[in-house]
Amino acid sequence: MNFSLLANHQRLFTVVCASFTLSLTVSLGLGQFKPLADVSWLDILGEGSVALLSLCWLVFILVSRPAGNVTTSLILGLSCFLFSANLDLMDEFVFYQESLTWLSMIESIPAGIGMLIMSYALYQWHQEQLILNKLLQKREAIFREHHQVDFITTLYDADYMRYQIDNKLLANTRPDFSVVMLDINNFDAFNRRFGHDQGDQVLREISDLILMNLRSTDLACRYAGDRFILLFPDTDITVAQKIAKQVKKAIANIAFKPESTSEPVYHDLTFAAESAVFGDGADNLLQRVSRRLDLFKQGQQYHD
């Protein structure tokens, strides 16, 4: 089991420990041990299993899930449940004086609250999973359909994009698609400042954001280095530019957190779009869009 995610959940780990310790302290502090003859070992087996399994579930959640609302709600809910389960278990070992019988009466209340919180967490988890499924569908198609995949970003590679463009050009007498080329600005400076591994991480995160902002019919590829190509079937250049602007905006608004610093880094993109025209081949269409992008980049440097 990989325990590295535990480091992200120190507060939640404290909540679990607090729930566990508090339940034991309350019952041991306020109760008195029963004579052994009164102890029901069968009940202990049943209630002990519930408490132990709740604890195991908590550990599994902490080592499996990233930090966030869903994880926090799951841990809070299950910690309440653990609190009740422990009190229930300790009831088998201790009894309370008349004045403290309320303790046995209220022991199931945290469990009820916990179940409510967990139900909310499971709903949120479901919503989160729907988004992840959407993203994975696009990635799954990559692995099922082809091996022409860039291993850093798991996007299609440039050869696959050329193959797709050529196929579309062959299939249609009137080409009806657009391509966009995107380039990350100042990526070399980022690499030099934070290192290649962090650069790879940025490429992966940007690829995820690109996929999130495309329609299911569009195709994203890593062209080379910090350049990406997007293919928009049945789409004119204005719509392609509009989607590219949305991708650019989404990326500009995400704070990347390189490992060596707490300072967020924001990335900007430059893009150029072209529509396929009669007589085009993949290579000259890609050259055209690449030349246009280079012109835009030179213009930017001139303005800088």
Ligand X SMILES: Nc1nc2c(ncn2[C@@H]2O[C@H](COP(=O)(O)OP(=O)(O)OP(=O)(O)O)[C@@H](O)[C@H]2O)c(=O)[nH]1
Which residues within the stretch 201-230 sit at the binding site for ligand X (CB under 6 A)? 203, 225-226
Least Cα distance to 157 among 215, 218, 248, 228 occurs for 228
* Nearest residue (beta carbon) to ligand X: 199
**Numbers of helices and strands, H then E, in the chain:** 10, 6
Instruction: Compare residues 166 and 205 and give the one whose CB is closer to ligand X.
Output: 205
- State yes or no: residue 292 binds ligand X (CB under 6 A): no
Asked if 88 is part of the footprint of ligand X (rule: CB under 6 A), the reply reads: no
Cα→Cα distances 260→188, 193, 207, Å: 17, 10, 22
Instruction: Confirm or reject binding of residue 32 to ligand X (CB under 6 A).
Output: no
Q: Does 112 bind ligand X (CB under 6 A)?
A: no
Q: Does 152 bind ligand X (CB under 6 A)?
A: yes
Please give the full DSSP string across 27-49, using - where no structure is assigned: HHHH-EEPPGGG--HHHHHHHHH
Q: Which is nearer to ligand X, 47 or 226 (CB)?
A: 226
| Residues 175-204 contacting ligand X, CB under 6 A | 183-189, 191, 196, 199-200, 203
Smallest gap, in angstroms, from Cβ of residue 263 to ligand X? 19
**Residue 268 in the binding site for ligand X (CB under 6 A):** no
Q: Decide: 65 and 5 in contact? Cβ < 8 Å.
A: yes
User: Which residue is it, tokens 């403290």?
Assistant: 100
Please, which residue, 134 or 291, has the CB nearer to ligand X?
A: 291
**Beta carbon of residue 112, minimum distance to ligand X (angstroms, whole number):** 51
Q: Collapse the DSSP code of 56 into the 3-class scheme (helix H, G, I; strand E, B; otherwise coil) and give the result.
A: helix
Give the Å distances, CA to CA, from 296 to 214, 248, 279, 291, 300.
23, 15, 25, 9, 6
* Contacting residues toward ligand X, per CB under 6 A: 152, 183-189, 191, 196, 199-200, 203, 225-226, 297
